[in-house]
Structure 1
């Protein structure tokens, strides 16, 4: 089962290590034109077809939530004028921290990634669920600057901040390391220009009362030096809403100011089935903070588990004033499949927020979440039109021949540019001497699984030279939990192999000897928890490789961690599937 976020994070923080240098053998072989051992992938397709969208078609006044399907967790949002910017956690994905832009909170485009350089993102040896946690994006009107503050669980970096004048230009600074412990930092700029940092931390030494006891700290922040002011830290929340009940994992703090009062909103209960969002207020920024009489203000934990189309784990929210002065909240939640497993990961949802009274209230946030939300007044839903990020049921097609990769393609632990070459016939993945089960940069591109039911295909031109060579597709939850379907060699003969890697132990599920043609088309289909892998040598007539296999190892429930399942194209010259 999924570990509570705080406990897992503490273990990772304790294991922070200095970045190690790579030997040259881990980088691609010398590139050669028309080398048949260099796999060329082309014509990738992904089609999602979930019943919840088919059975709940949108009215003109509605849009779907989640607004970002698949592994887009820990959303944070900010606004400058009528421009809205949203970011998500990215862990060991490279580039890191996807950033989205909207004019109306309904129609979103991906601008790229905040952390797109090795000088910003040092995750080369981390597990997939380490790296970048809970980014917070905020606009400071006093110096016309955008900040993204986060925790990088890698390479001894810890808490850090980057900044830019214009997120649309994509030129974020190198990280500035911040001198405090804990996770989930956020920034707040007061009306008078003073700046503050909030974050989750351990209680003072010797004062931890129970497992999961955490606190929220507040520091003054010097926006000239981009550092917290030493000696200004104070605990403003100790434990949570009701300390007598030993609340666990108070985290993800965000501070707001409305009508002269300060409002502190936090996640509570851990990022799993007990997740929730709670609210406090104070007349002074340093407290004391008093919880609302009705807390939590957002959760699904109390609802019947057998309800139709369940959405679970709701929490880790952020608020923004939307069009026409209406408030909205973005938050993470999950959509389990029929086996009650979470394969699509934690996704970004949105709800209107009623702040006409003293406290902000998520509209419907304590009820069973519905698949759609009303659009803000005067806004037209254009999410499935050209240029806007899709949601609902849709098809994504990429010939893999464009001069620049779609932003939805990510690598693990290192830049994509080091192992790929885009040509007029497809994208070459220069194979690394690293297997997919290793905590190293690997030669693979990944697309997030965004539906419970999907079909994905890709064409491959490739001739393996030895048993160490393999290229194909993967469905991956982590380096320890994944499936690989690929073409490799045994002796002088070519084989299609399907391997299952569970907790770091790999076994071949099925294998077939094939006539070497130099071309193959791979397919994976999922219907809830059942996945079926197949191949076609003629590009049309698919042959199943073995029977359906369980998606259990692609779920957060079994694999743990914080990511969702990824669909990848992959090559290696260090194949461990024998």
Structure 2
């Protein structure tokens, strides 16, 4: 009976995060009984994954918003440049996604549209240069007007001053021009001299316009604050209970930290919920998974939202929303590369400009042509990767590759970015095949180990138990370790910086020299432990 009660209890609860791994800056909208959510992708392509749910807990990825090179130019974009903080909205049969592109010549703010959330989405509709700041959002008012919200630095302030002000202006989406006067609707956030007032979203409820923003930066001081006004252009009064959500007072050792960057949604049953980002640290104050997407309940009291009443924080386990369960079909964590297309969880590093990958040239295999670029460069290497989603995991791949020259290599990489990596590489050394493990820390390569191998198929593997990483190969029924308990902390954002999370990738390179050689990957498997 106890076991049955425990199962029934667990069936009524969900586990946070609802999107594990590098899925930051979530934005959500509802259409009837369907929910759609997008997140940031920075230098990875395709950009902006889009998910569908009916219960706010189980999410099925239905594609990417920016899936064509014509939509997203990430050529040579810097580490943690690219696509920042998208917002998704729906109005009169059309979906809108608005976002910021950072670190390119054509950077700035743009939006795309689609009739179906699965696409196809339009090419970018660039907004004029007056659309300054990051984290743009759109609000469709009852009178048909559309408003743009963004953030900016105070005028005549020092260059190092962070974004503090939130501005609003009517926008004509057909002509992509601003209308009327611009209003500074928030001068400094909830606190005097607030640090990083970002992610503004406006909602209308019971005659009030509510402005929700993020403050404190996207690390341990992150917070969600809220303001309201009877007039969309203000003045806005702050909630005396601000911030309505933060974990900064819980200390850096709390299991879930850096909570913020929220977006609200009301259900068809009258409940309110927020999606937001947070961080799960492990191995001390380190976090390799990046910023993840969490879900928290909202109740309205005296005209203001209360987050998880009685708790006031994001919970690891919580009662599910009052919605019918949504059974999703998970994409196979083992990829035998037998499909005509890559699973949605695979990404490229920057915009692919050549057909360096194929699922058709050898059926049942992922073929990667050796590219000149390496995974450490600000380029688009011959690389296909997926997110690390668990603090402990195993990942393996079967590689068939015959290096012909000593500059040719193929293998598996565990990377936070181009300067912080572990790479398992099959190479040619003195005319014989070897496997080497490279540790790259602060942009400097170190050969950890090199072992001679036989010709033929090769399995490469990573086993992570928290921050202890084992790297190994298997060949002809024999397992050989290249490293035991290598330090995973070198991949943490604490060391590597930036806004992304760790990827596990397959890649092939000729290190700057043209090559017609290729590597075939028979399968890849990821398992969270």
Please give the TM-score of this superposition, normalised by the length of structure 2.
0.91
1:321-340 matches, within 5 Å, as 321-340=266-285
SS at match of 1:150: strand
| Cα deviation digits, residues 171-191 of structure 1 (max 9, x gap) | 111111112211110000001
The partner residue of 1:235 within 184, 195, 215 is 184
Q: Which runs of 5+ in 2 are unaligned?
A: 1-5, 514-529
Tell me which of the two structures has the higher relative contact order, counting C-alpha pairs closer than 8 angstroms and 6 or more residues apart: 1
Task: Check the 8 A contact 1:150/1:160 in 2, yes or no.
Answer: yes
- Structure 2 counterparts to residues 442-481 of structure 1, below 5 A: 442-481=381-420
Structural mapping, 1:373-388, within 5 Å: 373-380=318-325, 382=327, 387-388=329-330
- Given candidates 459, 474, 477, the residue that maps to 1:521 is 459
Residue in structure 2 matched with residue 260 of structure 1 by the alignment: 207
Cα gap change, 1:508 to 1:553, in 2 (>3 Å): same
Which residue of structure 2 lines up, in the alignment, with residue 411 of structure 1? 348
- Could you tell which deviates more after superposition, 69-78 or 95-104? 95-104
Is residue 2:501 matched to residue 1:564?
yes
Deviation per CA, 1:206-233: give whole Å up to 9, x if none.
Answer: 145984352111111113213323x522
* Counterpart-to-counterpart distance in 2, 1:370 and 1:437: 37
Which structure dedicates a bigger proportion of its chain to strand? 2
Tell me by how many angstroms 1:558 deviates.
Answer: 0.6
The answer for the alignment partner of 1:357 in structure 2 is 302
**Aligned equivalents of 2:253 and 2:483: distance in 1?**
32
Q: Is the 8 A contact 1:300 1:367 kept in 2?
A: no
Give yes or no for contact 2:245–2:313 (8 Å, CA) kept in 1. no
Q: How many angstroms does 1:350 deviate by?
A: 0.5
Q: Is residue 2:108 matched to residue 1:158?
A: yes
Which runs of structure 2 are paired with 1:476-487 in the superposition (5 Å)? Answer: 476-487=415-426
Structure 1 distance, partners of 2:8, 2:369, is 43
- Alpha-carbon distance in 2 for matches of 1:441, 1:213: 31
- Unmatched runs of 5 consecutive residues or more in structure 1: 1-54, 390-394
Indicate the RMSD between aligned Cα atoms, in angstroms: 2.1
DSSP-derived class of the 2:460 partner:
strand
Separation in structure 1 between the aligned mates of residue 441 and residue 8 of structure 2, nearest angstrom: 38
Distance 1:555 1:378 in 2: 37
Residue 189 (1) aligns with residue 128 (2): no
> Aligned to 1:247, which of 186, 194, 212?
194
State which of 417, 440, 446 in structure 1 corresponds to 2:379.
Answer: 440
- Summarize deviations over 1:151-170 as a string: whole Å, max 9, x none: 011232211111112113x1
- Counterpart of 1:530? 468
Mapped to 1, the partners of 2:334 and 2:160 lie a distance apart of 50
Distance 2:358 2:172 in 1: 44
Paired residues, number: 503
Instruction: Find the aligned partners of 2:372 and 2:177 in 1 and give their Cα distance.
Output: 41
| 1:216–1:570 distance in 2 versus 1, CA, 3 Å | same
Partner of 2:527 in structure 1?
none
On the 8 A contact 1:184/1:200 being kept in 2, the answer is yes
Question: Runs in 1 of length 4+ with deviation above 6 angstroms?
Answer: 55-58
Residue 9 of structure 1: aligned partner: none
Report the Cα distance in structure 1 between the residues aligned to 2:269 and 2:238, rounded to whole angstroms. Answer: 28
The SS at the match of 2:269 is helix
Q: Does 1:218 align with 2:168?
A: yes
Alignment of 1:105-144 (within 5 A): 105-141=56-92, 144=93
How does 1:382-397 map onto structure 2 within 5 Å?
Answer: 382=327, 387-388=329-330, 396-397=333-334
Confirm or deny: 8 A CA contact 2:253 2:285 kept in the other structure.
no
Shift of 1:404: 1.3
Name the TM-score, length of structure 1 as normaliser.
Answer: 0.84
What SS is found at the alignment partner of 1:552? helix
Partner Cα separation in structure 1 for residue 485 and residue 425 of structure 2: 16
**Which residue of 2 is the match for residue 176 of structure 1?**
125
Aligned residue for 2:525?
none
